[in-house]
Amino acid sequence: MQTLGQFIIEKQADFAFAKGELSRLLRDIGIAAKIVSREVNKAGLMNIYGETGDVNVQGERQKGLDVFANEHFISALSSGGECCAVASEEVNELIIIPGGEKAKYVVCIDPLDGSANIDVNVGVGTIFSIYRRLDLSVPVGVADVLQQGICQVAAGYVVYGSSTMLVYTTGKGVNGFTLDPSIGEFCLSHPGMRIPASGSIYSINEGNYVHFPDGVKRFIKFAQQENFSSGRPFTSRYIGSMVADVHRNLILGGIYLYPSTSAYPDGKLRLLYECNPMAMIIEQAGGKASDGFRRILEIQPTAIHQRCPVFCGSAELVEKAELLMHWHSPEYNPVSPDGLRLKLNQQAV
């Protein structure tokens, strides 16, 4: 069976600027993922459950594994020599890698997504995004990570669940690798991953229903009705870890929604660490990713920790959600009421 390292080397020529640096950077991420996977699997025994007492830049209480994952990914990215800077969800400022002045890549990373699930032994993950540095002739800076998602050269995630799986893309499709603990290698298990065009799963925290935009409320009502294709309502599945929820929907078909709320008018998930990399993966697998009104990958970031609403998954379902968001938000609606009503009726929304 083909290992991650073998696959990366084989596909290196697919990348326009291939000289080996990106391949080595991806392997560094894979090594760090193995270390974090090992600790996740024995967290209770190692006494790294629970909160550290610190609060990260997002205002969230840090868990022991949050800190562990952040330290090990930054260490791996620093020692490899291919990364000049790291933007981490857990750190306020851009981390400049000492000695990395000539490195070509910057990495944005959420070291441990869904960490609220750690103490109850539910799936968590890592999300990463890789960009080429804008200009090697000037020192690396914040501008190097504040690039649109369409500029990503690679994106991926690691899901730590019943097995550990790494899924990534370099813009040439999506491939998944499962960690074989007997040999300590990620092996190709899901080549050429494609998300179904539609599905019957919706993933959203319905506890916030009263705070959702009207378009999201209408989509939920649609999902709870008898579906025109299956004859039964959608299934609600929400884990509380973006990695786990999106991974399931990528395989089975469905939609993941984390919209704006009255408490978080700009959304809660981070554009650089979560929305952009997941949007690239979903689009490369044949799906769609939107903030409800526009393509996520075309949003221009203005801050490292910028938040963004997200609707991603099967293309047909994301399009339905977008239509409803436009319908209930006239100020954003580029379609005439009659034309939009026709689209909605045609799609049985």
- Binding residue numbers: 89, 110, 112-113, 205, 238, 256-258, 268, 274
Separation of alpha carbons 342 and 292, rounded Å: 19
Separation of alpha carbons 332 and 325, rounded Å: 9
- Backbone phi and psi for residue 235, each to the nearest 5 degrees, phi listed first: -100, 130
- Contact of 206 with 220, CB cutoff 8 Å: yes
Tokens of 266: 């700009």
Helix (H, G, I), strand (E, B) or coil at 178: strand
With a CB cutoff of 8 Å and minimum separation 6, the contacts of 6 are none
Question: In sequence order, what E strands does 283-347 have?
Answer: 288-290, 310-313
- Binding-site annotation: residue ranges for Mg(2+): 89, 110, 112-113, 274
β-pair partners for 177: 166, 188
Q: Among residues 97, 91, 148, 113, which one has the least CA distance to residue 40?
A: 113
Helix (H, G, I), strand (E, B) or coil at 234: coil
Cβ burial of 120 (10 Å; 0-12, 13-18, 19+) is exposed
Separation of alpha carbons 155 and 281, rounded Å: 7
- Binding-site annotation: residue ranges for substrate: 205, 238, 256-258, 268
Sheet holding 185-190, edge to edge: 95-96, 83-88, 105-113, 124-132, 152-160, 164-169, 174-180, 185-190
Tokens of 185: 């290698």
Separation of alpha carbons 285 and 281, rounded Å: 6
